[in-house]
Chains A and B, each alone.
Chain A
Amino acid sequence: MSNIAVTDAAALPTVAKPFLTRLGTGFFNRLVIIVPYLWLLFFFLIPFVIVFKISLSQTAIAMPPYTPVLDFRDGVSGFFSGFRDLNFDNYVWLTQDALYFKAYITSVVIAAISTVLTLIVGYPIAYGMARAPATIRPTLLMLVILPFWTSFLIRVYAWIGILKPEGLLNQLLLSLHLINQPLVILNTYTAIFIGIVYSYLPFMVLPLYSSLEKMDYSLIEAAKDLGCPPTSAFWKITFPLSLPGVIAGCLLVFIPAVGEFVIPDLLGGSQTLMIGKTLWNEFFANRDWPVSSAVAVILLLLLTVPIMLFQQAQAKAQEQGK
């Protein structure tokens, strides 16, 4: 890390900075970088290595419930001889049981459909906000953010009372004579879609709003003056210009939704299958740490590409902010 101090000292305008100040700057700079860096290395990156390691071990009736692999307790030679003990049984197990494969596929499909639904619901809201008079925009923005501050668990829980067979939605529809029999929504995939769209809506609206707000509205007026119908003006001008917001919003919804646990567990019931729930059950109900680690590793691999896309989008947005 020695080059940090060098580049920064060179960037300082005056050459005749006192030596002590320069030393202080270097020390300060290093501290700023090193503390969060080490924290994230230790608490974010290294845990993934451990997950991978344990996914290669075997289940054992012990605490912790797995056989140690690649342990440094036997010294370096013990570590290397440990490679022979590695086994990929857990991964083989995942491919043999169709349940896991189905859970991964269903999760990705559910997340993808929910993302599209969230986009369809969120776009008009974001568009309306961006076109609102500038004086009320901050208030509207706060109203979108506020539910995000209230508990995720509570917001999902609130839907149970609405979607139940004897719940509020069915009471309303029955009293309006729109239906004769209560609809079964709770404990189906429909309930999961509603839950995801509802919980993740602010994540979609906020990036959409920030890219729609920056848009130059005179472009639309020019198109209108030149005889372009509103719908085609939308698809040719507005939508392409809001694309960075669309991409950021979709990734912010899709990635966490694939591994979602609370929503499928509370609204989806026992009949629905999603990988986050599978992992949870392997861990808490079956106490099979190696298999749940293997499930996590595959899930992570599945999400690597979207996560990298998200990071690129973030970096780009940051560059444009400057």
Chain B
Amino acid sequence: MNSWSRFNVTSIVLGFAFLYLPIVLLIVFSFNESKLVTVWGGFSTKWYVSLFHNQGLMDATWVTARVGVISATVATVLGTLAALTLTRYTRFRGRVLFSGMVFAPLVMPEVITGLSLLLLFVAVGLDRGFLTVTLAHITLTMCFVAVVVQSRLVSFDRSLEEAAMDLGATPAKTFFQITLPVILPAIVSGWMLAFTLSLDDLVIASFTSGPGATTLPMKIYSQVRLGVTPEINAACTILIAVVAVGVIVASIANKRREVQRQLDERAAQRG
């Protein structure tokens, strides 16, 4: 197809340069010898070393990781259930309200979500800390999981389930043996999205967190306000590396599974 003209190639190259250049520069200057973030003073990894001696930052990393894993896991279960509800049950009382509550958090300004959750926690007398941040992140991220899983469920062939049911499988068994394996890739990417959103969140965490539960973005934010240092660049680079490796590994695994599935199908047709 020669319709992929020079114009199209140029716009893609420029667009990706715009998307990636700031991130690349950030990574490059994390290896800067000089304390100035914008003047190159030679290659050095000293900021990474000083990073690991920064106890506050390490504590925050540990808190963030725990909040991320717990909230992403719970959010994946809840989000998958929400996606099933949205695609399977088209008629029940309050469906409009339900889909509204699933889609609204996706675009809701974070300051509103954060403030409202904080006021809820105060109203029910829950002390702000690890638990409240986790609950807040579950609420936010389950909606993203729901959207990801839902897009997979929409294209799901339901006759497979009906066949299983006709052959006497219980609904639970049908779900775990037929539905779940098919939508698993979407569930996995939903979990990863939830985890990175939790890892990333500054505003909602600032509202709902309390003493002793400072997350990494909160720590980075407070340091940025004091001034830009290469140490923050180093912390950011590690975060980017973790996420990038995770995404790439997941997408390779996904592709492999897809290839395997196609081979199986071909073998089944031949045999």
A: which residues have CB within 8 A of B? Answer: 1, 3-4, 7-8, 12-14, 21, 24-25, 28-29, 31-33, 35-37, 39-41, 43-48, 50-51, 54, 64, 121-122, 124-125, 127-129, 131-133, 140, 142-144, 146-147, 149-155, 157-162, 164, 166-168, 171, 198, 201-202, 205, 217, 251-252, 255-256, 258-262, 266, 276, 279-280, 283-284, 289, 292-293, 296, 299-300, 303, 306-307, 310-311, 314-315, 318, 321-322
Contacts and interface: CB of A to CB of B under 8 A. Distances in A.
7 contacts: A43-B135, A50-B120, A140-B12, A150-B243, A162-B25, A171-B38, A311-B104
A121 B236 contact: no
Contacts of A36: 78-79, 81-82, 85, 98, 102, 142, 146
Contact of B119 (A51, A147, A159, A164): A51
A251 B224 CA distance: 30
**Nearest 4 A/B pairs, CB to CB:** A259-B109, A47-B116, A124-B11, A125-B15
Nearest to A123: B11
B111 A24 contact: no
Given A153-B220, A157-B236, A303 B109 contact: yes
B264 to A, nearest CB: 21
Contact of A50 (B109, B111, B119): B119
Task: Specify which of B1, B26, B78 lies most central, judged by the most chain A CB atoms within 10 Å of its CB.
Answer: B26
B22 A14 contact: no
A44 B115 contact: no
Contacts of A151: 196, 199-200, 217, 236, 239-240, 243
Contact of A48 (B23, B116, B162): B116
B20 to A, nearest CB: 7
B170 interface: yes
Task: Specify which of B25, B105, B146 lies most central, judged by the most chain A CB atoms within 10 Å of its CB.
Answer: B25
Contact of B89 (A33, A300, A321): A33
Contacts, number: 271
A7 B79 CA distance: 24
Given A3-B93, A24-B172, A151-B239, A321 B154 contact: yes
A25 B116 contact: no
Given A146-B247, A259-B112, A37 B15 contact: no
Nearest to B78: A36
A147 B120 contact: no
A39 B78 contact: yes
B184 interface: no
